Structure 1
Amino acid sequence: MDIFFEGTPIDKWKEVILNASPTLVGMELEHLIERLVTYEILLEQNDIETEEAFQRYYYNPDNKPYIEERKNNIAIESMGKILGQYE
């Protein structure tokens, strides 16, 4: 079981994506795209241009730790959904 905990959450997520049921992975990837689209729509409805906001926020070095933390959390949540349905 120690092997499961080696590597980053993103590395493990990629492993799950590559090895789980294509149907479950497809459903989860579609969910993630829907989530992204929802965030973009919310930003646009508040007159925030999404690509410009992304570029400004993403390339600000002060935001890197927060981005990494959130990215890992989403990867862990996504793995849980895929593996939970896989049982």
Structure 2
Amino acid sequence: MKVTVEMDLTPKEARELLGLPDLQPLQDAMVARMQENMEQAAARLDPEDLVKAWMPLGQQGLEQLQRFLFGAAGAAAAGRTGGTRSGEGS
């Protein structure tokens, strides 16, 4: 025997029927807190702080990156690609 029961309930009514807690107040509080945090973060948004966070060594890190890139470009221009020095591996 097969029995089908169809119920037309709102989500709130279904939670009450099943005895589940209403989490809407908690969700509203969390969304409000997240919005507040995001607004505070946007107010503090400073490009200089972002650069400091992304590049902890600041100017020194940028200079190291530039030296690395210039060194790699110079080595490629001199034909020293592949990790061998001139005179080695021949």
After TM superposition, the score normalised by the length of structure 2 is 0.30
Of structures 1 and 2, the larger Rg is shown by 2
Higher relative contact order (CA 8 A, sep 6+): 1
After TM superposition, the score normalised by the length of structure 1 is 0.30
